[in-house]
C-alpha cells in the first residue's frame, strides 16, 4: 500500500515539474532572441526586418507578448 502511495505522490510531483518546465520553455520560445537564434536569421532576414514598420513602430514602442500582458494583469 505504501508503494502505491509513494508512486502516486511521485507521479504528481513529476507531472508538476514537467508542466512547469514546459510552460517556461513555451514562454521563452516566444521571444525574439530565441526565434532569431533558432532560424539562423541573424545575418540575413533579421537585418532587413529591423528596418521595417513591423519591428519599429512610429511611436518607438514595441508590442508586449500576450502572455506577459496576462501575467501582469491584476484580477
pLDDT in tens, the chain (75 residues): 889 999 999 999 999 999 999 999 888 887 777 877 776 777 777 778 777 777 776 666 666 555 555 555 555
Length of the chain: 75
Q: What is the pLDDT of residue 21?
A: 93
| Residue 59 domain boundaries | 32-75
68 and 56, same domain (yes or no): yes
36 and 25, same domain (yes or no): no
Q: How many domains does the chain have?
A: 2
3 and 39, same domain (yes or no): no
Give the C-alpha separation, 75 to 63, whole Å: 22
Residues 6+ apart with CB under 8 A from 63: 57
pTM for this entry: 0.52
The candidate with the shortest Cα–Cα distance to 48, out of 36, 64, 33, is 36
Q: What is the pLDDT of residue 14?
A: 95
Element counts in the chain: helices (H) and strands (E): 4, 0
26 and 50, same domain (yes or no): no
25 and 44, same domain (yes or no): no
Amino acid at each position: 500500500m505504501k508503494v502505491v502511495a509513494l508512486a502516486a505522490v511521485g507521479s504528481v510531483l513529476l507531472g508538476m515539474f514537467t508542466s512547469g518546465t514546459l510552460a517556461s520553455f513555451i514562454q521563452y520560445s516566444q521571444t525574439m532572441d530565441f526565434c532569431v537564434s533558432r532560424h539562423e536569421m541573424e545575418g540575413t532576414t533579421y537585418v532587413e526586418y529591423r528596418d521595417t514598420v513591423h519591428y519599429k513602430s512610429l511611436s518607438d514602442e514595441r508590442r508586449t507578448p500576450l502572455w506577459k500582458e496576462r501575467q501582469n494583469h491584476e484580477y
